[in-house]
Structure 1
Amino acid sequence: MIWIWVIFIVFIFLMLALDLGVFHRKAQVVTFKEAVAWSAVWFALGLAFGVFVYFAYDGQWFGLGSVADPVDGLFNDGPAATEKYLTGYVVEKSLGVDNIFVIAMIFSFFGVPPLYQHRVLFWGILGAMLMRGVMIALGTKLIAEFHWILYFFAAFLILTAIKMMFLKTEDPDLDKNIVVRLTRRLFPVTARFHGEHFIVRAGAPASYENEVPGAPAMPDEVVERARPGTLLLTPMALALVMVETTDLIFAVDSIPAIFAITGDSFLVFTSNVFAILGLRSLYFALAGMVKKFRYLKVALALVLLVVGVKMLLAEWLKLALGRHFNLYLLMAVFVILASGVAGSLLAERRSTAA
């Protein structure tokens, strides 16, 4: 069983190394066309892995599917495992879209030039995978030992859905954010960007507007009070800290959602990873259109609500719909998301025509 984990993790790190070390070795502005192409690549990889899941669980390769799923008590054969993987992938991907809106706000607040946004997201996603791996391992152990905790997750998801639907959120002032304030108190932070570096030494030359295409105007240079050679964080580092913090907050919502579908740690982790990997390119494809999807947040709240209710009524749904009731959940999620996107685009078209 351990070998399938090793192979999968090595594969993911090879893909990330290929991404940053070959295709994005030099800082560059990610175009819409390139972002769509990479989104298609990651989406295709996620679906292709679903094919592997089918045959691996059907043949119990590496011991997969040989242990009952702690959520529904059933053994995952090929079809059941594929349904759970794809449902988890779609749910995690859709919830991650909301994270894109927040990341766009973070980049705008800190004035991160488009030239360097890919690097921030790369390291942000790497950190997100590590954090989620720890949370998934802990969640799997808790569910295996305390099955009642699923009802706690369900209540949490339903309350989160209600909060998303009825509480209006405004763009916060990140200068007042406790994480930003604590980081600035613990570490000296430069006033300017220093290329794509997160950490520099005092006295290093800063990047100016004419050196960074698309960068916002910088304030007059401030003389660093730190001694020459002192390590300093750059605004890029502050943006990365906020991206990681944001993902941790979103993971608290999304991890319980995936446990509503399956408690198989391999299915939970792999669906999460493939959903996260595609978010970076999806950000560059959607960042300029975030305000057009006005009903998407409501759709995402409904997804959380449906998943939470499913978790509460899992035993009844299993009896009423059969062991493949996750397929109906997948279809419901698709319909909700499609309705949210279609409604947003229709409303945008009407407001433009008015």
Structure 2
Amino acid sequence: MDVHASLWIITVGIILTMLTVDFVGHVRTPHAPTLKEAGIWSAIYIAIALIFGVVIWQIYGSTYGTEYFAGYLTEKSLSLDNLFVFILIIAAFKVPREDQQKVLLFGIVVALIFRTVFIFLGAALIENFSWVFYIFGAFLIWTAIHQAIPAKEEEEYHENFLIRKLRGILPITDSYVGDRVFVRIDGRTMVTPMLIVMVAIGSADLLFAVDSIPAIFGLTQEPFLVFAANAFSLLGLRQLFFLVDGLLEKLVYLNYGLAVILGFIGVKLVLHALHVNELPFINNGQPVLAAPEVTIAQSMTVIVGTVIITTIASVWKTNRDLKRGITPPA
């Protein structure tokens, strides 16, 4: 895929414009968005991502267009897992409702930076070491198994090492001061809990990037498509948070759906690794051409089918439980 520099510039320009709209139009004035506002802006961001995919389809053909859409849909599905953890963190830090947009937008920007770095590192590894597909595939299969195992107890947020260190080093105010990150008190500069929760959100997304980047490289090895699909799936995540907050727990089979998608992509990566094999202890260092190759059309079918089945099954179970007087956990 030969991507001209101008297309990179246009794509980055679109992303920066969308972030600017978020900063200037929504976050600068603290407020809790209504369901209508969150729904409208979520639809706008999804529409922009879909239009971008159509443009890729028209310029580069159906193969690359399908790779983009498969990557975007996978990353968007995985972002629901991000949202669940973001909800836990924001609840644990008791972030005021009107200030939550700023925290989420900071998390999205940090996520874009982390993932951009990981994308180019991953692309460099793939370009020089084909055996990395084995590692990516095995990691995704392991993640899928872990995702499918139900939690033995109710999940809650536990502060990581970085947050605990920051609490021991930085002078932190006892409460939030609006949406300010730094504040002067009695001539002393202090940080507010807003900084701590931002770092918590950013460090949490670092772990999500470790899952999502190998997953999308299993669908396309084009760095431009990987970057675009990741960026457009993250943009709009802030609006989606307010749209699905309180509804996310009703997707009772979400973890199983994500497990299927990650496991499928993991197997696909291992099969691809066999096709480009260079490891001397596997088939004498020769490609294993007998291994089946999964097409992008088959990948798209599995991903779309899994998302649809997971959603329908979750809605069915939730409705059935409500009729029986069983309410989802708060």
Please state if 1:192 is matched with 2:175: yes
CA distance in 2, matches of 1:309, 1:319: 11
Aligned twin of 1:346: 316
Show the 5 A alignment for 1:145-184: 145-166=128-149, 168=151, 170-174=154-158, 176-184=159-167
Aligned twin of 2:278: none
Quickly say closer, same or farther: Cα 1:185–1:335, change in 2 above 3 A.
same
Please state if 1:18 is matched with 2:21: yes
Contact 2:88 2:156 in 1 (8 A): no
Match of 1:51 among 42, 50, 54: 54
CA distance in 1, matches of 2:187, 2:227: 42
- TM-superposition CA deviations, 1:261-319 (whole Å, max 9, x none): 11111011001000010211111111111221111111111110011111122349999
CA distance in 1, matches of 2:96, 2:137: 40
CA distance in 2, matches of 1:151, 1:24: 42
Show the 5 A alignment for 1:1-354: 1-57=4-60, 78-166=61-149, 168=151, 170-174=154-158, 176-201=159-184, 203=185, 228-314=186-272, 315=275, 325-354=295-324
Quickly say closer, same or farther: Cα 1:52–1:318, change in 2 above 3 A.
farther
Q: CA offset at residue 24 of structure 1?
A: 4.1
Contact 2:67 2:219 in 1 (8 A): yes
Q: CA offset at residue 141 of structure 1?
A: 0.5
Quickly say closer, same or farther: Cα 1:255–1:317, change in 2 above 3 A.
farther
CA distance in 1, matches of 2:37, 2:48: 17
CA distance in 2, matches of 1:332, 1:295: 16
Q: CA offset at residue 348 of structure 1?
A: 1.3
Contact 2:72 2:232 in 1 (8 A): yes
Query: Structure 2: which amino acid aligns with 1:162?
Result: I
Contact 1:161 1:304 in 2 (8 A): yes
Contact 1:28 1:115 in 2 (8 A): yes
CA distance in 2, matches of 1:253, 1:107: 22
Contact 1:95 1:300 in 2 (8 A): yes
CA distance in 2, matches of 1:236, 1:287: 20
Aligned sequence identity (%): 37
Equivalent residue of 1:231, what SS? Answer: strand
> How many corresponding residue pairs?
306
Q: CA offset at residue 173 of structure 1?
A: 4.8
Contact 2:18 2:235 in 1 (8 A): no
Equivalent residue of 2:261, what SS? Answer: helix
CA distance in 2, matches of 1:267, 1:42: 17
Q: TM-score, normalised by structure 2?
A: 0.88
CA distance in 2, matches of 1:125, 1:119: 10
Q: Which runs of 5+ in 1 are unaligned?
A: 58-77, 204-227
- TM-superposition CA deviations, 1:51-106 (whole Å, max 9, x none): 2212332xxxxxxxxxxxxxxxxxxxx11110110000001110111111111111
CA distance in 2, matches of 1:317, 1:261: 19
Contact 2:271 2:293 in 1 (8 A): no
Quickly say closer, same or farther: Cα 1:121–1:173, change in 2 above 3 A.
closer
Equivalent residue of 1:111, what SS? Answer: coil
Contact 1:310 1:317 in 2 (8 A): no
